[in-house]
Amino acid sequence: MSIGIVLLIVLACALVAGAGAFATSRLTLRRRFGSEYDRLVRDVGPRRARAEIAERQRRVASLGLKSLNPDQVTRYETLWDKAQARFIDSPAESVRTAGSLVTGVAADRGYQVDDATRFLTDLSVYHARRLDGYRQALRTTTRASAAATEELRQALLGYRAIFRELLGTDAGRTAISSSPTRQLTRSTRTLRRQLAGLARTDRRQAPPQQQQPVARSGR
């Protein structure tokens, strides 16, 4: 076998191995970054998407992110519970407060939140699968006063998902409430039952209407 043929075989094997490694790397990135990776591929192509993700990882590594201490976690959980409890009476205000809490906990973790665009790209390194919901929540918040209640509820859930991950309590809280919609749904049902009960009480306590005497015409 000539040297030329051997070189061609070696080159072909190298190309196959390279293609396989690239496909494996792409699959790994898609599994980790989900739709965020797909979005980058659509915008800039697969090779530039890989380079962009690598750059994001280097930048986030330089931030020196830290976990919150137990007192901070407790404080944020209390603030979140208060914000969520306001949803029934004031959904727009509840959603705005939830958005502020996400930014607050991220800043305490070490993220740079002043630049909204960079903040989103930095979040993609560890929270890529929550970004679609977070972006939608941000869009809804900008028009919260005019948004429908269901849109605001979805925004609150979007904030809640990334808030839990940033806080570091996602796994534990999920064990308590496996469905993020249960608490809001349960609160709404409770309010409806309370209103129905008040209505029944009012009807029972209302004095019976006295029948007006019928005036008889004189003969």
Q: Is the residue at 52 inside a domain?
A: yes
The whole-angstrom separation of Cα 108 and Cα 42 is 33
SS3 annotation, 125-192: HHHHHHHHHHHHHHHHHHCCCCCCHHHHHHHHHHHHHHHHHHHCCHHHHHHHCCCCCHHHHHHHHHHH
Q: Indicate if 74 and 26 belong to the same structural domain.
A: no
Tokens 């962009």 belong to residue:
52
Around Cβ 40, how many Cβ atoms within 10 Å?
A: 22
Question: What number of CA atoms fall less than 13 Å from residue 148's CA on the CB side?
Answer: 3
Tokens 């390194």 belong to residue:
125
Q: Indicate if 42 and 82 belong to the same structural domain.
A: no
Q: Indicate if 99 and 140 belong to the same structural domain.
A: yes
If we measure between CA atoms, which residue out of 88, 82, 118 comes closest to residue 100? 82
Q: Indicate if 125 and 179 belong to the same structural domain.
A: yes
pLDDT value for 16: 43
pLDDT value for 40: 80
**Tally of domains within the chain:** 2
The whole-angstrom separation of Cα 134 and Cα 210 is 59
Q: Is the residue at 206 inside a domain?
A: no
pLDDT value for 46: 85
pLDDT value for 95: 98
pLDDT value for 49: 83
Q: Indicate if 38 and 75 belong to the same structural domain.
A: no
Average pLDDT per run of 10 along the chain, which is 219 residues long?
Answer: 56 45 54 74 83 90 95 97 96 98 97 95 92 96 96 97 89 36 51 52 50 47
Q: Residue 39: give the domain boundaries.
A: 8-61
Q: Indicate if 28 and 128 belong to the same structural domain.
A: no
If we measure between CA atoms, which residue out of 47, 40, 58 comes closest to residue 18? 47
pTM for the whole thing? 0.65
Q: Indicate if 86 and 130 belong to the same structural domain.
A: yes
Q: Indicate if 82 and 144 belong to the same structural domain.
A: yes
The whole-angstrom separation of Cα 153 and Cα 184 is 8
